[in-house]
Structure 1
Amino acid sequence: MELKATLASLGQVKSLLTKGVGTPLLVLASLGMVVLPMPPFLLDILFTFNIALAMVVLLVAIYSRRPLDFAAFPTILLVATLLRLALNVASTRVVLLEGHNGPGAAGHVIEAFGNVVIGGNYAVGLIVFIILMIINFVVVTKGAGRISEVSARFTLDAMPGKQMAIDADLNAGLINQEEAKRRRQEVTAEADFYGSMDGASKFVKGDAIAGIMILFINIIGGFIIGMAQHGLAFGDATRIYTLLTIGDGLVAQIPSLLLSIAAAIIVTRQNADQDMGKVVLGQMFDDPKSLAITSGVLTIMGLVPGMPHLAFLSLAALSGGGTWWIYRRNRQKKNAQLAKLNAPVESSAPQEQHKDLSWDDVSPVDVIGLEVGYRLIPMVDRSQGGALLNRIKGVRKKLSQELGFLVPPVHIRDNLDLQPNQYRITLMGVNVGEAEVYHEREMAINPGQVFGQIQGIQTRDPAFGLDAVWIGQDQVDQAQSLGYTVVDASTVIATHMSQILNSHAAQLLGHEEVQNLLDMVSRSQPKLVEGLIPGVMSLGTLAKVLQNLLTEGVPVRDMRTILQTLVEYAPRSQDPDVLTAACRIALRRLIVQDIIGGEPVIPVITLAPDLERILHQSLQAGGAEGAGIEPGLAERMQRSLTEATQRQELEGQPAILLTSGVLRSTLARFVKNAIPGLRVLSYQEVPDDKQIRIVSAVGQQ
């Protein structure tokens, strides 16, 4: 019955620990040790547990692949420090109350540690213990605290840059929403961790100071109590209380030193998924030069008369052997790589010497092309770890989802006519964008506000024209801490391509893509497609309408609404501009949502009534393309609209020009290239559930 009861009790304890009450119970037990007296046997068990806990924490810190894998370390450090201080208080009470009975009065653990350190000489034992405390306090704890402070500051300073880099990858289609959310959480967790480590390092420092103070309190208090209250001789009091004090302090300082080392290891690690042992050995002994020089120096020192020849020459021989082994290993790796590169490529098909020309020799123009210089070839070569292909695939996927049709594939080729680090983006064989990148460097983009300058190759972001600097891999952390957004060369090219394809989306939509859209809709709504093509309108007219929508920044995802609108209006008019205006009115909710999101109020810029009347007269006189607008008036309008757009952007609001339906298409073409951030809507394109707020009126006296 007693065995069953004991097993039941152990089961209840395990259940409590698994339910998350182990840490609260440990904290409460530590506080109880400060108040309640502890028998020596229980002190032995708790001191042993404290040492085991410190060893476990140290080993977990060593084998963690990233600092964030041990994110609970600051909390564990606090709990372990509290436990150790509580044990110090409990052992101090026992030492002062029962110390006159002999060295074993405070438990066998304290007695054993005291005998090991003292070794029969109290002065030597005290000096060794003080040196151990100095090592913990001055070297390990102070250094770890400084590193924690600096890491916390730079991590917090780099947060905005890292967040912007995540947003840039998301906008470029390199990652999805789930990955972006995971990365943001990781950035926040990193900042919280290093901030907590900065505070936790103060616990370690305070613990070391408390250990020194407790040492002197126990010795002085023991002398007074032993000689004054218990009548011990000076020699006996010195022997007993020095033994107990040093043993008590050593039992507490060994776990403290272990935890300090664990804290130093955690804060000096890089936040990357890597094995610490492999990284240290690889970086120290990857190049045999260091070992070779060390072997030579040790050999010279070992040959000096009077030096311990065996120790120096043995270690010199060991270093020389390691140098030879590393050199041979590196040589074998290099020969294997050269053999792989120089391996002959066998052709599986015989070359035809006399082959007539055919239409197969005429290469069709690529819809989307990417040409790279020879130094950028590793970026598009999967065998060399090139990530650009996956980035471009992500851009195509994201744009296809946003625009509503499948973006054609990108044909990549090298071009020896380009500069070594230059790339060129083409549409239908026409150059639409080019720039230079350095695939071995990172681009630090100035988002508008940085806290200092960084050395590197000055340039401009090819996608948005922002000031940027090409920096080395070792400058990334510094650039992020200064507020720069740091991206690699693959991301630069992918973002540039995304921006170009988005602005030239109409050129990517041809008759083949339109037919594929119709086939996709016909699978769910066959009658809608049959009633429109080819009975009501031709495929070419439908393609022109969709291209007009894409030119004006309207995606064609909602093909159902577009086709229903065309079924209604195409019998009345076959003019693509008229049909485009009708589709825009039908898609007004989607258009407004893309501009302002779910906001109930639309801030708009309007034209003064007199200015609208003049523009109507100019259009009637000069035609629908607006050729009749007087140049001086066009210049003043552009200047006023640019100022109004800039004011809206400074306030963090979209710039929207609201005008009549007759003027909308003309003004949209007028501002498309001159004022890219300004969107033009007609009165009919405002949804019924949205309110209008006029922020400025252009041309008003």
Structure 2
Amino acid sequence: MKARDFTVLLGVILIIVMLVIPLPGWLLSILILLNISLALIVILVSMNTTDALQFSVFPSLLLLLTLFRLGLNVSTTRSILSEGNAGGVVETFGTFVIGDNPLVGFVVFVILVIIQFLVITKGSERVSEVAARFTLDAMPGKQMSIDADLNAGMINEQQAKDRRQKIEHEADFYGAMDGASKFVKGDAVAGIIIVLINIIFGLIIGMIQLGLPFNEAIDTYMRLTVGDGLVSQIPALLISTATGIVVTRVASEGNLSSDVTKQLFRFPSLLYVAAGTIFLLGFTPINDLLTIPIALVLAIGGYMLSRQQKVEDLPSLEEVDESQSEEMKAPENVVGLINMDPIEFEFGYGLIPLADSSQGGDLLDRIVMIRRQLAIELGLVIPVVRIRDNIQLNPNEYRLKIKGNEVAKGELLLDHYLAMSPGIEEDGLDGIDTIEPAFGLPAKWVTEEVKDDAELNGYTVVDPPSVVSTHITEMIKRHAHQLLGRQETQQLIDHLKENYPILVEEVTPDPLAVGDVQKVLAKLLRENVSIKNLPVIFETLADFAKMTTDTDLLTEYTRQSLSPQITSSVLQGRNQLKVITVSGEVEKLIAEHIQQTEHGSYLAMDPDTQQRVIQSVSENVEHMSLQEENPIVLCSPTIRMYMKQLLDRFFPHVIVLSYNEIEPTAEIQSIGVVKVA
């Protein structure tokens, strides 16, 4: 055992000895000075710690110091009442405070005791209690945060263990402080009682046993009592203050002194306000010889702090050169150049009023509404659309890029309206012939004067902002599958996991990785099937992923589970669904040409047969278009995805459905059959 360990043990034994054995006055003086020194050390240490746990021994130390101080009180009381003497330190303190008037000295001492008991001790006790309660309440949340960081890979096992231990130590520390603060309160109460005992019984002993006159007895015992009270209450006041500092200390990089000076004088200009206020007080009956020097000191302090802040804020030439050199060498300068926005909308300088709110442009608001609309319709959070002007484009030209690739472009005439033809040629309508960019319909750009005539003739008239916002909406819908990557899929999974944790755990990461789920969702989006109903999609994946991990097959199973949604989207409020069916001959032909490989299955049909099937589909699609019907091809579930693969290159807008994707309540009317010509 080390020598300092023996010191602590001997100190505890000495405290017990003081409670029982009378001590001489010179030894009491040494112990009193030691008590004051320990109290000073404790408050200085508490002011220089940056974290409460750096002084974790404080609750136990507080108990020992309180016991030591009470032992001194017992010893000094014994000496005062038995010998009328408690050492030079006690008498010196008493004489200094009382002076020639014992009553004034006693009042000063009472005020000190009231401050100690009602202000410092009560406040420290309350803060300790609240800190302990809040620390215990916050423990579960902190533990969950550590587990989340560990699961995300942000920290390792050892770091997680260290953080957990710190949380446990904090809980133990503040709990111990809550109990230790009660000792401080009890010590203050005991000090008041001991003072009353010394005065009352000192007078009794002095006047009755020693036969002293009242004035002499009150002077002797009042002096010693006040001196004894001071030498015990001053360390107690320091310890109580240290208790308040420790429990109210917020973890920071600096100690209390640096934090106070740094934060109190953070705004030097406020010192000028304080200086002006003090200076104005000089015009009142207050002596201006007092206010002017103080105001001057505050003003000079504010000026010096302002200059110091400016110097600190300005980097040196060496720092500037070094920072510039580091910036040029930093890989971020190169990495930042290869960043690509998921969606970019560029326009010529003539279309700047579209996006400039000061000129009445509302394109930004329309983009926000588009993202909200697509989130509701597709169940996909569309990335932020980057909008910028491009002087390389024609003044009225715009283009849309997705993942850096141009997917659409068009031209707008801001001072015109787009009038889409009702299908009946009206040569008398004045305008500039064009094509509606979103759906490829014939249209005309007409002026404000012709707008009313166009509406009377059955034209659908829209303004340029509506034209471009519709175009953007349709293009994003068409390319939504390209915007869904693994990161976006993980976000959807995390959102679903909040309400369906067991369902998500059954699907991913085993048997399906995030990439497999992303492929299924992207295939659905590619055919304009909303993925908003994620619970149903994941229920299907949970059922069939145990049998196969082929994403094409899983997509087909998922589509069949979404049959109510798909049926509703193609019926669009109607009762009857007009379709093009696939003949048994073509279905058999496609089934015979399916090739199975280890990487999946695909359709391997000879070009001649493929061309004949496509020709038959083309004739039926044209026939449906004349009837103003959306072309829908209906076939058996086993060949649906191969039929879609076959038609996708030539008829990307044709919807291909299987019988299992149509609800039994829907009435189907076949107005064409795909045959082998």
**TM-score using structure 2 length:** 0.49
**TM-score using structure 1 length:** 0.47
Q: Which has the higher contact order (CA 8 A, sep 6+)?
A: 1
